[in-house]
Amino acid sequence: MRSGRLLSPEKTIEGKLLQKFRGSERLTDRLAAVLIKGCAFVAIVALVLIFVFIGKEALPIFTSPEVRTEADLGKLLLPQPERGFVWQPVSERPAYSILPLLAGTLKATIIAVVFAVPLAVAAALFTSEFATPWAREVIKPAIEILAGIPSVVVGFFCLMVLAGWLQSAFGWTYRLNATTAGIGLSLAVIPIVYTVSEDAFSSVPQRFRDGSVAMGASRWQTAWRVVLPGASPGVLAACVLGFGRAIGETMIVLMASGNAAVLSWSASDSIRTFSATIAAELGEVVMGSPHYHVLFFIGAFLFVLTFFINLTGQWWVGRLQKKLRGGS
Amino acid sequence: MRDIKGVTPKLETRALDLFYGHFHALKQVSVSIRPRAITAIIGPSGCGKSTLLRVFNRMNDTIPGVRLSGEVLLDGQSIYSRNTDIQRLRKKVGMVFQRPNPFPLSVFENVAYGPKIHRLANSGDLHEQVEASLKQTGLWDDLKGRLNASALSLSPEQQQRLCISRLLAVEPEVLLMDEPCSALDPIATAQIEELLMQLKTQYTIAIVTHNMQQAARISDETAYMLLGELVEVGQTNAVFTRPRDPRTEQYISGRFG
């Protein structure tokens, strides 16, 4: 037996080396942590600052007397004498009703979502449940590449090709209208809804499918009655993401919607959306003018709208998940 | 192949060979499964017992690269002939899995699933059928107030009972059980075993199990498999007390496995 003298680790050479090494390791660890925290912080601060800046520029709608004589909240939202709801910011007597823009935005977005969601979810269900592995390897990347196409290219396609086809197919008066823009938007929405819901379908455990098939259900019944309900939170999340993309997308609607601020229920009238209005007008607006502040107000409104849609979506997804997993 | 005292077997294989690609998983297996009795299939891991079970409702069909030769008969009719309706076969020959796998739906929808897909009941009868199936497995009293709760919120034992109820609702003839208790604790296991003893008066049950005590406790017949071969099959008592094959004796006396 060796003597009872135990060397504490700091006193041996190996111990000292190890400590030195550990010290430097701890330093890099700490550096990495600081770096990562810093990045996260910058991202969040940037987000907050964007909102603060937009909010600040939108505020005169409520506070500044000069701006309010031309454009207060009532003039933006309520019908104006003789003119009703008109968006004519650049004229002798400017009118700033945002209702035609809201209608245009909602029309394009809803058409896009109605068009894209069934297609994308069905395509996702097909690739996840029915396609051969070979077909899946082709279809999935192909649809995902669609997300990578610059929206200006999609817009160009809508403007030059799609609009003509649709007009001759339906005999519309206006070549560029809400439906053209909505279908164009759906090209941007489909890849998002497809990818997210395909992941949701694929992550439904195989044992659910086995259980269903072992009872004599067909693959179709299994996909429709077991896989789809099992993936419903993911599919809903996909739809919310798709909606957010549709409402904020700018270039496609700018090119394919006609940009006429018409307030109507018709899906074949031209429209002007919030995002396209900001893009088209902010470059030429007089800084500090009522028009300038109204555009920022629209931006803030769009920001708040998408924020609440996402919030509601997440709450709903959470509720579905809870219902599915139990624990009521 | 063994003739069992003049009883026509419910399920039967004759000289069954099965390959996964080049792997010879079942070798010349000939076995008969008696109606309204529990047949246990025992053997070490990888011996082909689950594969054999899955042959009976053609669940191996979903695995790519499976080849099979020999005969598999249900009530004397081949189930691998060209005109076999697989969905009808699986309705008659249901399966309970190792891990309870209730669907991510409500308790009610889980049990109603089979009757709905096989169009067995109109909506009025559906409720009665769900109730009857839940009563058969002893779940009704616990769950009658929670029929709309998610099936995934139940305890593992309740989930496994629910999976059995779900099968019973399609009025099957054969229940195939692939280690149905391996995910359950001993008390839950005992309860499921008791349930199986009740069910065997109406159904033909084939159960794959790792647990030799379980086989000895509940089964009427036992089949012992090793490396894809059926080593021995007979009355459970006889197999456990007077095994004819030395390999069976080695296994049941715990020398390997």
- A325 and B CB contact within 8 Å: yes
CA dist., res. A13 & res. A9, Å (int): 9
- Six token digits for residue A263: 């307030």
Taking the Cβ of residue B113 and every Cβ of chain A, the question of whether any pair is shorter than 8 Å is answered with yes
* Chain A residue nearest residue B163, CA to CA: A211
- Indicate the helix (H) or strand (E) that contains B14: strand B11-20
- The answer to whether residue B218 is domain-embedded is yes
Distance from the B76 Cα atom to the nearest Cα atom in chain A, whole angstroms: 21
Q: Which of B103, B153, B166 to mutate to test the interface with A (most CBs of A within 10 A)?
A: B103
Taking CA–CA distances from A230, the nearest residue in chain B reads B104
Over 60: is that where the pLDDT of A1 sits?
no
> Does some domain include residue B79?
yes
Q: Give the domain CATH number at B80.
A: 3.40.50.300
Q: For residue B114, is it within any domain? A: no
In terms of DSSP bridges, do strands B23-33 and B93-96 run parallel, antiparallel, or are they unpaired? unpaired
Are the CB atoms for B188 and B158 separated by under 8 Å?
A: no
Chain B residues touching A215 at Cβ < 8 A: 90-91, 94-95, 113-114, 117, 166-167, 170
DSSP assignments along B153-195, one per residue: GS-HHHHHHHHHHHHHTT--SEEEEESTTTTS-HHHHHHHHHH
Cβ neighbours of residue B102 closer than 8 Å, sequence gap 6 or more: A211, B110, B151, B152, B154, B159, B162, B163, B166
* Cβ pair A177, A270 in contact under 8 A: yes
- Helix, strand, or coil here: B18? strand
pLDDT digits (tens, 9 = 90+) for A226-263: 999 999 999 999 999 999 999 999 999 999 999 999 99
pLDDT digits (tens, 9 = 90+) for A182-227: 999 999 999 999 999 999 999 999 999 999 999 999 999 999 999 9
Query: How would you classify residue B178: left for phi > 0, otherwise alpha for psi between -120 and 50, otherwise beta?
Result: beta
Q: What are B12-38's pLDDT values in tens digits?
A: 999 999 999 999 999 999 999 999 999
Of A211, A323, A325, the CB nearest to B101: A211
Q: Scan residues 187-216 of A and list those with Cβ closer than 8 Å to B.
A: 204-205, 207-208, 210-216
- Would you state the pLDDT for residue B138? 87
Confidence of residue B1 (pLDDT cuts 50, 70, 90): very low
A73 contacts: CB under 8 Å, gap ≥ 6: A61, A62
| Residue A167 scores a pLDDT above 90 | yes
C-alpha B201, offset from chain centre: 15
The pair of three-digit structure tokens given for residue B248, joined into one six-digit string: 């069976």
Chain segment B74-87, per-residue pLDDT in tens: 998 899 988 889 99
CB interface of B with A, residues 47-66, below 8 Å: 57, 59, 62
pLDDT digits (tens, 9 = 90+) for B226-236: 999 999 999 99
Among the listed residues A198, A226, A199, A228, the one whose alpha carbon sits nearest the alpha carbon of residue A210? A226
CB < 8 Å to A326, chain B? 149-154
Full residue range of the structural domain in which residue B226 is found: 11-100+173-252
DSSP A159: I
**How many independent structural domains does chain B possess?**
1
Q: Is residue B157 part of a domain?
A: no
| CB-CB neighbors (< 8 A) of B170 in chain A | 215-216
Q: What is the pLDDT of residues A52-73, one digit of tens each?
A: 999 999 999 999 888 888 888 8
The complex's ipTM works out to: 0.88
Q: Specify if B227 maps to a domain.
A: yes
Q: Is the dihedral of CA A196, A202, A205, A209 positive or negative?
A: positive
Nearest by CB to residue A215, choosing from B90, B150, B151, is: B90
d(CA B136, CA B143): 13
Overall residue count recorded for chain B in this entry: 257
Answer yes or no: is B94 within a domain.
yes
The helix/strand/coil state of A139 is helix
